[in-house]
Amino acid sequence: MQKIKKLWQKIDPFSLQVRLTIGITAAFAVGVGGIAVWTTWQMQQILIDGHKQNIEQIAQRLPGDVEVYSEMFSLEIGLQKAIANRSTGKTLIWVKHNNSNNSIENLVPNDEASIKLMSLMRSPLSTRVYEIGDRYFVVCGKFLQVKGQQLGLLFVAQDISYEQRMFSSLVQSLGIVSLIALIIITIAIAIYIKKSLQPLRRISQLAETISVNDLSQARLHLHRAPTEVKELACTCDMMLDRLSEAWEQQRQFVGNVSHELRTPLTIVHGYLQSVLKRETNLTPTQREALETAEIEAQGTIGLLQDLLDLARADAGYLHIQIESLVLNDLVIEVAAMAMQQHDRIITLETSREQILVKADRSRLKQVLINLFDNAVKYSDSHLAIAVVLDLKAESTLIHVCDRGLGIPLSQQHLIFERFYRVDEARNRSAGGCGLGLSIVKTLVDSMGGSVTVRSKLGEGSTFTVTLPSAA
Ligand code: ADP
């Protein structure tokens, strides 16, 4: 019952599959139903026509018989003999006299239906079927005239109850068989339509799940689909080709531009640093301008480096050298740097003195620097940042926790995307460009790990990096 309920809930009345199934089944039911009704009617007519001819013949010949018998007997006895001669078990013949209710009949009917039929017949009638209770009769009635004398009304009736019952049960069985056939055909049509629409579903699934990373591989290979769908799939494949090409060109362009800009900018940054260090006769305004230029140049070099790293990772050229390293030492080193640089307190909690992980030293440093930078940027300067190292069976977790602004739940899955920033207002002062976390994710993924976030707006965030343990 539960299963049927679930199946019923799954059916979408607006889907093409349901509409086509209902349409075809309805057309089929109307067609077959129409033919069945027409055939049944025709069969009934054939059945009745046979009996009609028989009783009409009896009604036609009876006056002649009476005439022959009345040569030998009186008219009354001749009539009785003629009726008895023509009667059979299923054929009722009776004559109603004009001026009385008395009648002469072949046999005294002992069943209720025949008595009722006889009492109902009062005037001449063309041949037709009468239904009395569960019995059926074909009856015709006409005036009986012998030797120019009106004897009354002659009625001939044939009991066709048995044939009618057989016919009804045949129609009933045919109806049941047709219904079962209709159900089977409906199911078969539904399955066939579902199969035919499968390629369309694949196209929509592909369009739904495709990402920039699998643009070049994702193709629809629909060899056995209907021609129209195959054409659509072909067009989709061609569109994916063009998109993939355009995306590749764009990636190469970003990589090349980043590379070309980084070298001159590094030189400019170097000169600015040396001028700031060596020149003692700078006015405060000149010093301030040079310091601002130096900070901006450094920020832009960082951005270009991030773009280059991402372009290399996309092209599969990101250089990663995995080694076993003591995580505690590395975290202490990076935390010390961050504390000095940002003038903030970073605490370390660890379950063991030495935790060994498999990672690329410089890439892991880069990951931690980015996470510390964010924790510093998005929390108040008087609040401490905590790093917790947690050794599990086969992996090690690095939690970077702050008690800062937090990230709304609806945006937590988006922050690892390139150039995504939660709220422009909160970022403008901090100066981020939305690449830090996508670099973190790319680097951690390429080291065989993963990164997740748990955060509550207004209470803080915890970024967790999971890396494979070395021992
Ligand atoms: P950005 O350079 O802008 O910091 P990121 O990729 O590092 O870019 O981060 C993406 C967005 O995620 C940021 O714009 C910021 O709003 C949010 N975010 C990242 N880390 C934190 C954090 N520790 N606390 C609150 N928000 C954060």
Mean pLDDT, rounded, of the chain:
87
Find the mean pLDDT for residues 79-88. 84
Q: In ligand 1, which atom is closest to the CA atom of 421?
A: 14
**Ligand 1 pocket check: which of 410, 437, 454 to mutate, most ligand atoms within 8 Å of Cβ?**
437
Find the mean pLDDT for residues 76-98. 83
Q: In ligand 1, which atom is closest to the CA atom of 460?
A: 24
**The pLDDT of residue 298 is above 60:** yes
H or E element that contains 14: none
Neighbours of 147 (CB within 10 A): 10
Contacts of 117 (CB under 8 A, 6+ apart): 92, 130, 132, 137, 139, 157
**The pLDDT of residue 373 is above 60:** yes
pLDDT of residue 467: 96
Q: In ligand 1, which atom is closest to the CA atom of 426?
A: 16
Nearest CA to ligand 1 atom 17: 422
Nearest CA to ligand 1 atom 25: 406
Q: Which of 38, 154, 149 is closest to 105 using CA atoms?
A: 154
Pairing of strands 103-105, 91-96: antiparallel
Find the mean pLDDT for residues 354-376. 94
Nearest CA to ligand 1 atom 11: 421
- Kindly indicate the confidence band of residue 379, based on its pLDDT and cuts at 50, 70 and 90: very high
CA 176 to chain centre: 33
CA of 299 to the centre of ligand 1 (A): 16
Nearest CA to ligand 1 atom 21: 374
Q: Which of 82-86, 173-177, 315-319, 424-428 has the highest mean pLDDT?
A: 173-177
Q: What is the pLDDT of residues 183-197, one digit of tens each?
A: 999 999 989 888 888
**Ligand 1 pocket check: which of 305, 407, 410, 459 to mutate, most ligand atoms within 8 Å of Cβ?**
407
**Ligand 1 pocket check: which of 415, 416, 457 to mutate, most ligand atoms within 8 Å of Cβ?**
415
Q: What is the pLDDT of residues 49-61, one digit of tens each?
A: 888 888 888 988 9
CA of 409 to the centre of ligand 1 (A): 13
Helix axes 436-446, 361-377, angle to 10 degrees: 150
Nearest CA to ligand 1 atom 23: 375
**Ligand 1 pocket check: which of 374, 387, 453 to mutate, most ligand atoms within 8 Å of Cβ?**
374
Q: Which residues of 153-165 are buried (b: 16+ CB within 10 A; e: fewer)?
A: bbbbbbbbbebbe
CA distance 315 to 216: 12
pLDDT of residue 430: 58
Nearest CA to ligand 1 atom 2: 432
CA of 50 to the centre of ligand 1 (A): 94
Q: Which of 455, 296, 436 is closest to 374 using CA atoms?
A: 436
**The pLDDT of residue 264 is above 90:** yes
Q: What is the pLDDT of residues 9-29, one digit of tens each?
A: 777 778 888 888 899 989 988
Q: What domains appear along the chain, each with residue ranges and CATH number? A: 16-181 (3.30.450.20), 323-468 (3.30.565.10)
Looking at 153-157, 288-292, 346-350, which range is the least confident one?
Answer: 153-157
**The pLDDT of residue 426 is above 80:** no
What are the two backbone dihedrals, phi and then psi, of residue 141, each rounded to the nearest 5 degrees? -140, 135
Q: What is the pLDDT of residues 354-364, one digit of tens each?
A: 899 999 999 99
**The pLDDT of residue 74 is above 60:** yes
**The pLDDT of residue 286 is above 60:** yes
Query: Is-above-0.75 flag for pTM?
Result: no
Q: What is the pLDDT of residues 122-146, one digit of tens each?
A: 777 888 888 888 888 899 888 888 8
Q: In ligand 1, which atom is closest to the CA atom of 438?
A: 6
**The pLDDT of residue 463 is above 90:** yes
**The pLDDT of residue 149 is above 90:** no
pLDDT of residue 325: 94
Nearest CA to ligand 1 atom 18: 374
User: Residue for token digits 């008690």?
Assistant: 403
Nearest CA to ligand 1 atom 8: 434
Q: What is the pLDDT of residues 436-453, one digit of tens each?
A: 999 999 999 999 999 999
105 vs 206: which has the higher pLDDT:
206
Nearest CA to ligand 1 atom 19: 374
Pocket of ligand 1 (CB under 6 A): 374-375, 378, 402, 404-407, 415, 420-422, 426-427, 432-438, 461
CA of 425 to the centre of ligand 1 (A): 12
CA of 68 to the centre of ligand 1 (A): 121
CA of 459 to the centre of ligand 1 (A): 15
N residues, the chain: 471
CA of 455 to the centre of ligand 1 (A): 12
